Amino acid sequence: MNYRHAYHAGNFADVLKHVVLLALVEAMEAKPTPFAYIDTHAGSGCYALEGKEAGKTGEYRDGIRRLLFPDLGADNGQAATLPPLLRRWLDGILALPGNEDGLKLYPGSPLQAARAMREGDSAHLCELHPEEAVRLRELFARDGRVHVHHRDGYEALKALVPPQEKRGLVLIDPPYEAQDAEYRVIERALKASLARWPTGVYAVWYPIKLRSQVQPFLRGLQHGMARRVLRAELLVHADDSPLRLNGSGMVILNAPWNLDEVLREPLRAMARLLGQGQPARWNLDWLVNDSGDTAPPPRSPAPRSPRPR
């Protein structure tokens, strides 16, 4: 994909990924003890939406900017109200310094997580690209909770887990430049990390072009990886073309108990607001439940949101 996140900041895939991330951070904060946040592919941390990269693609216009107008396609006044989680997420971004006069900056995963974390929590951010690692260090130079690692995130996991806090969340969000081979790398990293830290929460973002490309990865997660695996997906196009990003998903290993209920209404609202020429579709289901039972991923996404009017 030759992916540089600055070109795609704030797009529909980011909306899904970062709303799920906020839900996970809030779940971690349900307990008073500190937790660690580990980001294997952190990027530079913050992106100018009218800058050279994001301005060139304009993908945020069909992503976060649509949430600024929740009455778009609404059937009634109630539908025009963003669900509380989605509202908190959007308000947090609009409260970022630099966004006082409107949506100008989009914070990446590291900055969104750090802004949601508490004083006693910690963050370990891994970024291999030298220029982006420099920007990341500059961004967090005054935040003692945050540690930036200029190294391969998969390799860093071997040293970072389990964290000192014993509680925490790992976000694996690679650029998928290796296409299908990336999934094998993720599988190996998850297996090794779970062996050392079986109680950690692991969230993996993945792109959806052809459904056949992601199905083997999802099926692999159903066999012995973790006792609870939740899948959340949002598709703005049919998953039958390799030429574009049709959707994206998040799988969460050791997902919090009620995360599916927390995400249900936000996903339904995202599907209504972010559809591109046709109703967006979404999936939210347990690939593995607590008893170890598995359910094969359905062949086609469901349910559908109402068609915008």
Q: How many of the other CB atoms lie within 10 Å of CB of 72?
A: 15
Q: Which residues are catalytic?
A: 173
Calculate the CA 169 to chain-centre distance: 12
**What does the alpha-carbon distance between residue 302 and residue 229 come to, in Å, rounded to a whole number?**
18
* Residue 7 tokens, joined: 């070109």
Q: How many of the other CB atoms lie within 10 Å of CB of 177?
A: 10
Q: Which residue has the tokens 């998953």?
A: 239
Phi, psi torsion values for 172, nearest 5 degrees: -110, 110
- The crossing angle, in degrees rounded to 10, of helices 180-196 and 211-220 is 20
Asked if residues 186 and 221 have their Cβ atoms less than 8 Å apart, the reply is: no
